[in-house]
Amino acid sequence: MKLFIDSADAALIKDLATTGLVDGVTTNPSLIAKSGRPIKEVIAEICAAVEGPISAEVAATDTATMLSEGRKLAAIADNVVVKLPLTMDGLRATAVFAGEGISTNVTLCFSAAQALLAAKAGATFVSPFVGRLDDHGADGLELLHEIRAIYDQYGYDTSILAASLRNVGHVTGAALAGADAATLPPETFSALVKHPLTDKGLDAFLKDWAATGQTI
């Protein structure tokens, strides 16, 4: 499963990319607004830092303007993925972009039926929102299993990009569900490496090594 960073903080993304573990980045209008910088400038900087797919979202709600904005975003760099909302207008734009060879990420997916439509429209990625479903009493991870079963049943090429993942358990669940990728807030990404027994074991090893008086 590929790991994407859900952020528009270019400096932080550059730092995390040095781990060699960052496969892509997702952004959205809220994250861009939080950065306080022009969207084209932010996306270009992120695209230069990470070779994988970089999702940049349109702000329009009608198909014609989505197409106009999406083409401008796609022109920023070869690895830009145009992010579109899972609405009928968004799906129309997705189908057009599929015909033009422009990669897309259909976002705000909350049902398997919606994911089916995204795949039929030719989406490169579909982004089911796990955490937000959990907030409303549904099972966000179960949705990933449903989408995986449908895509495998019919041979759809659309990749499942698990989104709204808020903790390590969500990431593990997404991997077990067969998600192709997961996008994580930077703090969740960093938490993946943490375990108290790892820290305890390392402390013991270092203490024992220090007692030998040796150096390497």
Question: Do residues 37 and 66 lie in contact, with contact meaning Cβ atoms separated by under 8 Å?
Answer: no
Tokens of 13: 């993304």
Q: Phi and psi of 176, rounded to 5°?
A: -65, -30
Q: What is the pLDDT of the chain when averaged over all its residues?
A: 97
pLDDT tens-digit map of 147-182: 999 999 999 999 999 999 999 999 999 999 999 999
- The model carries a pTM of 0.95
Among residues 40, 83, 194, 200, the one annotated as catalytic is 83
Sign of CA dihedral 75, 72, 184, 139: negative
DSSP secondary structure string for all residues of 66-98: HHHHHHHHHTT-TTEEEEEESSHHHHHHHHHHH
Give the single-character DSSP code of 102. Answer: -
* List of residues 6+ apart from 74 with CB closer than 8 A: 80, 82, 97, 102, 103
**What's the confidence (pLDDT) of residue 193?**
97
Give the single-character DSSP code of 131. Answer: H
pLDDT tens-digit map of 82-103: 999 999 999 999 999 999 999 9
Tell me the helices (H) and strands (E) count for the chain, helix number first.
Answer: 11, 8
DSSP secondary structure string for all residues of 1-31: -EEEEE---HHHHHHHHTTT---EEE--HHH
**What's the confidence (pLDDT) of residue 130?**
98
Q: Could you give the CA distance from residue 162 to residue 143 in angstroms, rounded to a whole number?
A: 10
CA distances from 124 to 16, 148, 183 (A): 25, 15, 15
Q: Could you give the CA distance from residue 10 to residue 18 in angstroms, rounded to a whole number?
A: 13
* Residue segments in the chain with a per-residue pLDDT below the cut of 50: none
Question: Do residues 158 and 128 lie in contact, with contact meaning Cβ atoms separated by under 8 Å?
Answer: no
**What's the confidence (pLDDT) of residue 74?**
98
Query: What is the percentage of the chain residues whose pLDDT exceeds 70?
Result: 100
The verdict on whether 83 is a catalytic residue reads yes
71-184-60 Cα angle (round to 5): 30
